[in-house]
A and B are shown apart, each in its own frame.
Chain A
Amino acid sequence: MTFSGLTMMTEQALASDDAELADELVLRLRRADPSAVAEVYDAHHAVVRAFAKRLVGDAASAEDLVHEVFVSLPQAVRKFRGDSALRTFLISIAVNHSRHFVRAAQRRRRAISAYGEMKTHESSDPEHEARRKELADLLTRALDTLPIEQRVAFVLCEVEERTSVEAAEIVGAPEATLRTRLFHAKRKLRLALETEGFG
């Protein structure tokens, strides 16, 4: 047997072991085993948290969304058929639960804005860093003007740079629909940024 053949067999065996481990993990999740949820949290919380923060644009609401995703995981995992990665599945749970949290974050931003308590960047920050943060805040506020579906499409495809196939899988919509949402989202966001006169 050649070395490459041996390597291929070893990789196949490892892949098979991984699949078995994943299946076992899913079974434990379905039994609402807390150690399984903890395992999944440790492995995937950063991705879910990053997505949540980008989507809702508010750290506190994002944490609430992350909490919701993992608490509802044992219930939600009953629908998991293993067609996609568990990480993708977690993002789809976050999308499904996001509506309420996005609204909460929008309300908070509006309140802060109304009371003029929006944090200003310290003068000690480098100019580039200040502009970057300001742009991010501006985009988050512009995202508030979008319908939730367009917002999710933009964050998944543009901010998180996921393929349209993966994003469509996450939101459970056809790829064409997702592209249409993305098109409208970008058009509205450009308009919003121009209106703000940033540049």
Chain B
Amino acid sequence: MSKDLLAEATRALRETTPVSEFEARATRARVMTGLHQTRVRRRTRLAFLLPIAASFVAVSAWGAASGRARVVLVELQHWVGDTVNAPTKSAPTNAKASRQLTAPPPTAASAKEPALLVPEPRPEPVLQPPASVASAATPLRALASASAASRAEQDDPALALYRAAHSAHFVAHDPARALAAWDAYLRAAPRGQFAPEARYNRALSLVRLGRNQEARSALEPFANGAYGGYRKSEASALLERLDP
């Protein structure tokens, strides 16, 4: 009985599904509208994304070709507030080196420098000093960091010069020694990855030594935007103070 009832109900369901012409046409119109909207959305997306992607590619290519990509990235990092390290170009040695770079916290001594009319720069990229290596969590990790740092220096001798200059400038606060060290680094790597920082710090050393004329010519490219926005405002402020 129930089997017959199920069969009867099934037949009834099969037969009571009339197709309404009106519903069919209405749904067809909805489908076509939906497809049209999808196409419009896709075109709009492309219209926005393609120019953005093309601009990004063009700017990247220009930056790579003109060598200004790094300056822009440095500026971007400063703007974002990332003080970890300067970006690397592409060489694996640079990648290794960048892992060794950390930003030291501003010291009390450096905060008391205004007597020299030179504002203490924001933390610069610095190679990890042995002391902080020693303070690493475990001796094994410290050893690994030290050996990695020494490997990085072996791969790029300019890094050792940069570290020495950084130490003389920010740790020893010896402008004469720092100036010589920055010059040494810039001779070794005039287009090195930290060349803009080195040039700016060299200019600060000149200011501290009272060699105002040389300092002025060293600061002018920064104030004129030769390095994008990097240290532009600081250099302008210093130049104003140096003016007789």
Interface residues of B in 1-55 (CB under 8 A from A): 1-3, 5-6, 8-10, 12-17, 19-20, 23-24, 26-28, 30-32, 34-36, 38-39
Task: Please name the residue on chain A nearest to B13 by beta carbon.
Answer: A136
Shortest CB distance B13–A (Å)? 4
Shortest CB distance B31–A (Å)? 4
Assuming A45-B24, A63-B23, A189-B6, is B31 touching A136 (CB within 8 A)? Answer: no
Assuming A41-B28, A186-B6, is B35 touching A136 (CB within 8 A)? Answer: no
Is B9 a contact of A136 with CB atoms below 8 Å? yes
Secondary structure at the B interface, as helix, strand, loop or mixed, is helix
**Cα(A153)–Cα(B130), bound, Å:** 73
**Does A50 count as interface, using CB distance less than 8 angstroms?**
yes
Number of residues on chain A facing chain B (CB within 8 A): 38
Stretch at the interface among A76-84, A99-107, A191-199: A191-199
Stretch at the interface among A1-9, A17-25, A30-38, A88-96: A30-38
Task: Please name the residue on chain A nearest to B16 by beta carbon.
Answer: A136
Is B6 a contact of A193 with CB atoms below 8 Å? yes
Is A70 a contact of B31 with CB atoms below 8 Å? yes
Is B28 a contact of A38 with CB atoms below 8 Å? yes
Shortest CB distance A46–B (Å)? 5
Task: Please name the residue on chain B nearest to A139 by beta carbon.
Answer: B9
Give which listed residue, A42, A74, A190, contacts B3 with CB less than 8 A. A190
Assuming A59-B23, A63-B23, is B8 touching A135 (CB within 8 A)? Answer: yes
Is A46 a contact of B19 with CB atoms below 8 Å? yes
Provide the residues of chain A in CB contact with B17, threshold 8 Å.
50, 53-54
Provide the residues of chain B in CB contact with A54, threshold 8 Å.
13-14, 17
**Cα(A161)–Cα(B17), bound, Å:** 15
Which size bracket describes the interface of B in this complex? 20 to 34
Shortest CB distance A153–B (Å)? 13
Provide the residues of chain B in CB contact with A49, threshold 8 Å.
19, 23-24, 27
Give which listed residue, B1, B9, B24, contacts A138 with CB less than 8 A. B9
Provide the residues of chain B in CB contact with A142, threshold 8 Å.
9
Is B1 a contact of A199 with CB atoms below 8 Å? yes
**Does A133 count as interface, using CB distance less than 8 angstroms?**
yes
Provide the residues of chain B in CB contact with A53, threshold 8 Å.
17
Provide the residues of chain B in CB contact with A74, threshold 8 Å.
35
**Cα(A74)–Cα(B36), bound, Å:** 12
**Cα(A70)–Cα(B35), bound, Å:** 9
**Cα(A70)–Cα(B30), bound, Å:** 10
Residues of B in contact with A (beta carbons under 8 Å apart): 1-3, 5-6, 8-10, 12-17, 19-20, 23-24, 26-28, 30-32, 34-36, 38-39
| 23 A-B contacts (beta carbon < 8 Å) | A32-B35, A32-B38, A37-B31, A38-B28, A49-B24, A59-B20, A59-B23, A63-B27, A67-B30, A71-B31, A71-B34, A71-B38, A74-B35, A132-B15, A135-B8, A135-B9, A140-B13, A189-B6, A190-B3, A194-B2, A194-B5, A199-B1, A199-B2
Besides A45-B24, A136-B9, A136-B12, 19 new A-B residue pairs in contact (Cβ under 8 A), listed by A number = A42-B28, A45-B27, A49-B19, A49-B23, A53-B17, A54-B14, A59-B23, A63-B27, A67-B34, A132-B16, A135-B9, A136-B15, A142-B9, A159-B10, A159-B13, A160-B14, A186-B6, A193-B5, A193-B6
